Structure 1
Amino acid sequence: MLDITTTGQDLTIEDVRAAHARIKPYIHNTPVLTSTYLDNLSGAELFFKCENFQKAGAFKVRGASNAVFGLTDEQAKNGVATHSSGNHALSLSYAAGRRGIPCHVVMPRTAPQAKKDAVKGYGGIITECEPSTTSREAVFAEVQAATGAEFVHPYNDARVIAGQGTCSLELIEAVKDLDCIVAPIGGGGMISGTCLTLSNLAPHIKIYAAEPEQADDAMRSFKAGHIIADDAPVTVADGLKVPLKENTWHFVSHFVEDVLTASEQEIIDAMKLTWQRMKIVMEPSCAVPLAVILKNPDVFAGKRVGVIVTGGNVDLDKLPWIKG
């Protein structure tokens, strides 16, 4: 039984398989889409795993559901609590609602209104904080002390990482002979789950993390060989502002091929391009993988590339290519 004390190093592929069985009633096996236009533009064959079509609109419902439905009745009696810029918050609220327990969420006051509304819609109870890691963790400590709720960290939690590993499990079952997979990196939950699955089932597939230049602490950590944490980076990719932690650093440091970055304009251009050509709604954070693929043809041209589109919870009143 996984709990909050389980470390990333303790996880096995059986934990991913168990997570997949546990969460199957509560998630979608999301589709894999392709685009001839984007293939021609990149010089690669791109396979987009569309977690923007996932329950609650993001991949994070996988890890959140695995954590919530893996709790004993004793652990669950006071509900669950977390801090999140959005997608984990609404995913945990969704999962908690399905189990019939409360969910307490600390969110930055600057989080997109669409995500705040979704959290409330799923029954989550929001406490706002300032937009920094320091404020987020301090306010969360107060909320947890007051509620006694079970902490489910957005990414530094083995239960969450095992759940996120189910995404790449589905992807490699749907698409054979991939050369590499690219996913966004903030705190590293999705990348860690991807590493956990692929290192066991398809170790030949290279894993690339995609990150904004203006929130490039994972890239700097990767190069330095230890965690470097930024407190409050500013980027359009609001889901990628948080730093790595010890459980995710284990996977990043051992299994990631490289961490590649894209500028704010490159991220916005990739997001708009995907909306135009694939007719799908994706968040700025999800556009970072395509941005780095287009920026690095020497790495990806001629390859079969899995691209994890992590979510579609966009504030439609604040699209990044619309000024004013």
Structure 2
Amino acid sequence: MRKQKSFKGETNSFGKLYLVPTPIGNLEDMTFRSVKTLHDVALIASEDTRNTQKLLNHFEIKTKQISLHEHNVKERIPELITYLEEGTSIAQVSDAGMPSISDPGHELVLAAIEAEIAVVALPGASAGITALIASGITPQPFTFYGFLPRKKGEQLSELEKLAKHRETLIFYESPYRVAKTLETMLTHFEPTRLVTVCRELTKIHEEYLRGSLSEVLEYCQETPLKGECCLIVEGFSGEAVLEVAVDLNLSLKEQVILLMENEKLTSKEAIKKVAKRQGLKKQEVYLEYHEENVVSDN
């Protein structure tokens, strides 16, 4: 175990690694603290120095940059750690939003922690959380997934694992693949599940598409999207299983068994859920379930 004191009580002379979020579209979302930090550090490690330079020019920041991206991370990290150990403080930024969230940065954080260098994260813009709170879908609990695999087989495998998750799901996706991804989701997700596609967050063309999975898919198939997209998907509620059970005119006992098998519930939990869905007392469902069991046992 190690304890980090970021500011007061620090004992070494190392520099600090600052993780600085940058705007996801609107430059006015840059915080005062982030601007000051980029001014004050000796070096900025940027995912794309050309992109970050536009931000620096806007805020009249003259700090020197060094590139840090997925293609040079292994060679660059030892160099950056040396700077930090020599007392040079570094700010690490990605092209937009939080470093390490679907962007480079995590490897540098691990290396700094291993070298007992203080890692200081600044709060700021994050597309996933921004989209979540305006989506209209239950904001907590949630699971941030990021980008799904591009290969359909791998994507199907991941969606199958996520299909029974009850928490809200957050995905990032290219506008060119949104419709295809929603179509693939239908393989394992109920068509009635709520989905919000958030496009061009914080920019002038910001747009929210809210509806059921099938409705949003139909729209996206007819109207190709542009710009960065974030998908907020409602978690599994189990209601779809009961709707199917009612449509099939299953008995109360069969409904209980269906819930136990599909949602891995105990008989007590399933009985309670069936009773609520059918507007019955739990005792009525309990008696039918257990009476039928007694008859079948004899």
| TM-score past 0.5 threshold | no
Structure showing the higher helix proportion among its residues: 1
TM-score, L = length of structure 1:
0.31
Provide the TM-score with structure 2 as the length reference. Answer: 0.33
